[in-house]
Chain A
Amino acid sequence: MQTPLLQINQLTVTLKKRQALFKAVDNLSLTVNKGEILGLVGESGAGKSMVGSAIMGLIDKPLFISSGEIYFKKRRIDTNAQPFRGAEISMIFQDPLVSLNPLRTIGNQLVETIRTHIPLSKSEALERAKKLLEEVGIDPARINAYPHTFSGGMRQRVVIALALAPEPSLIIADEPTTALDVSVQAQILDLLKQLCKDRGTSIILITHDMGVIADTTNRVAVLYSGRLAEIGKTYDVLKNPRHPYTKGLVAATPQINGASLKNKLFQIPGSMPDLNSIPAGCAFYPRCSQAVSRCEGERPPLFDNRIACWLFDKGAKPK
């Protein structure tokens, strides 16, 4: 079997607040393979952005990695991520309106990023920057323009160009389309898919939007309360969701077809618990319609490398 590009082993990210400890990410393990797009989906606060930041080593006090390891190409990066940033792993943030330095031209920022990682002269770097702009769909003649002269979607393309500049093997895209118009969303997602295909770059796509997952990812991991609920090939997970939470998410996604237009929008009753009130057993227990008594007190491990739910324990029979 091919060695995974990125391997996260039992990662726990803890928040320290006035002498109390809370787990923002709890014993999470997953892998990312070369050339694939992995989706990380969950509600706001489920910990998905935290995973992304942990990989990059961008976690600041009062949060810290309390246990677990992260391996990239078999080298440990959770202890020191700096050498990997940019050259191996890049990141894209949610809001393109604040991701770019408003006081410097996009060309300037591109050249700076390029030259940090690749020894080129200024003019060579400039040429490369122009090619990057072309690749993301921006007219290279605008290389000396300031960020505020671009629309949101265009700025996000610039950010993607920046992320590509040092030729990383993995890009972490943290809600890259959430702040954009729906029509522009599709363009950006297509761009990401194209880049993955052309360059073989793996992508971790963090989002709360099941539609984005369905459209763009090869595999998907569902997060709930900082824990992995379900993980698998996107088609499988969406067509036949196993975890009750995943089922709820899929059902709650608005579809525009005849049947569901007549029905009310489905909602999972209740809400995800706060960091300081996560249940002792399975985190989803209070909201789960299929719970058994075991779910209350014991946290389910990941069965079959796919699903963290007592209903799928080999001994028990699913209802």
Chain B
Amino acid sequence: MLIIIFRRLLQAILVLLFVALISFLIFRFVGNPVESLLGQEATVAQRAALEEALGLNDPIHIQYADFVWRALHFDFGNSYRGALPVAEPILLRLPATLELALTSAIFALVFGVIAGIYTAINKGSFLTNFILSSSLIGVSLPTFLIGVLLIWIFSVELNWLPSFGRGEVVSLGWWSTGFLTSSGLKSLILPSITLGLYQMTLIMRLTRSEMLEVLRQDYIRLPRALGLSSKQIYVFHALPNILIPVITITGLQLGSIIAFAIITETVFQWPGVGLLFINAVYFVDIPVMSAYLLLVGFTFVIINLIVDLLYLAIDPRLRDTELRREA
């Protein structure tokens, strides 16, 4: 078992290094760090001096190693806009994005699984048909459109919820949270729904189809023929068997949530790293883009790793296949 974990870990690290490489190449070769720091009026001598100072004349692999080393220490260089260190705004805005992502994920998972199981068990009911039809719309609507429409209905017309920003936040050490204030919580609602709606629809459809598939299997019919109650069958036999694909997709969707947060943060002017990134793209602020890529890549790889390992923990068949590969 440990061997499997170790192997997965190794693969993850390799992928990370590759992502770091891309990030490094972007950082170093796209755009011109010297020019943006010194402006176009700098003399040749000044440029040469800065190049030396920044280590731009060292061999490539040294620069790469240096890049990775500094990244591990949260030093991502300086932003082109204002020449401040990139790490600072990223760290400051991280809590906002993470809280949003977490809330959306929980929303999507809970409602998605419940709706999926319900529609699988109660075929043909009115609620089932309603859920299925609206899910189609949920999948078709682009995220930004959902957000804008929600704002229109709930902020402009009904005036129930705020249309932008995070509301009041409370600082807990380095972290700032919106969970502890009522305005903070209210501000979370619309963005979370916007961000989570697509995932929720996906999870619902997946849960439903997996449930339908599982319910047809003999290992469900057999306990039923042997007298077990429906409830017992659903909980102990059906549910665990749908967990595998549901967990996989959910885990992989988490990464997607973090990426789509960019859009949601823009719609709601939510002060997170997504908004930071899109502004960086707009103003061609390379260090920020490169840092974001590194961070997001890191998050994705970690998530994939956890999902992989969870998978192995749940399904005994996979463990044996893995171990057999060793032999």
Contacts and interface: CB of A to CB of B under 8 A. Distances in A.
Interface of chain B, main secondary structure: helix
A148 B228 contact: no
A40 interface: no
Interface stretch (B23-31, B104-112, B233-241, B299-307): B233-241
A56 interface: yes
Chain B CB within 10 Å, residue with most, of A56, A86, A101: A101
Interface in A89-115: 90-91, 93-95, 98-104, 109, 112-113
Given A99-B218, A101-B237, A85 B225 contact: yes
Given A86-B228, A117-B227, A159 B222 contact: yes
Q: DSSP majority for the A interface?
A: mixed
B207 to A, nearest CB: 17
A58 B225 contact: yes
Interface size class of A (residues with CB under 8 A): 20 to 34
Interface stretch (A31-39, A160-168, A228-236, A264-272): A160-168
B226 A103 contact: no
Contacts of B226: 85-86, 90-91, 113, 116, 162-163, 165-166
A87 interface: yes
A22 interface: no
Contacts of B237: 101, 104
A101 B241 contact: yes
Contacts of A163: 226
B315 A162 contact: no
B317 A102 contact: yes
B227 A95 contact: no
Contacts of A312: none
Interface string B197-225: 00000000000000000000111011111
A85 B237 CA distance: 18
Contacts of B229: 116
B224 A85 contact: yes
B323 interface: no
Contacts of A98: 217-219
A130 B208 CA distance: 37
A109 B241 CA distance: 14
Contact of B225 (A90, A94, A112): A90
A174 B224 CA distance: 15
A103 B240 contact: yes
Contacts of B320: 148-149
A103 B228 contact: no
A58 B315 CA distance: 29
Contacts of A71: none
A91 B220 CA distance: 12
Given A148-B317, A148-B320, A99 B219 contact: yes
Given A146-B316, A148-B316, A148-B317, A100 B219 contact: yes
B129 interface: no
Contacts of B221: 58, 93
Contacts of A101: 219, 237, 240-241
Given A85-B226, A93-B221, 13 more contacts: A86-B226, A86-B227, A91-B222, A93-B222, A98-B217, A102-B316, A102-B317, A103-B315, A104-B237, A104-B240, A116-B227, A117-B227, A148-B317
Instruction: Kindly list the 6 A-B residue pairs having the minimum CB-CB distance in the complex, ordered from nearest.
Output: A86-B227, A91-B225, A85-B227, A86-B226, A99-B218, A101-B219
23 contacts: A58-B224, A85-B227, A86-B226, A86-B227, A90-B226, A91-B225, A93-B218, A94-B218, A98-B219, A100-B222, A102-B241, A103-B315, A104-B237, A104-B240, A112-B228, A112-B232, A113-B226, A116-B226, A116-B232, A149-B320, A159-B222, A163-B226, A165-B226
Interface of B: 217-219, 221-229, 232, 236-237, 240-241, 314-317, 320
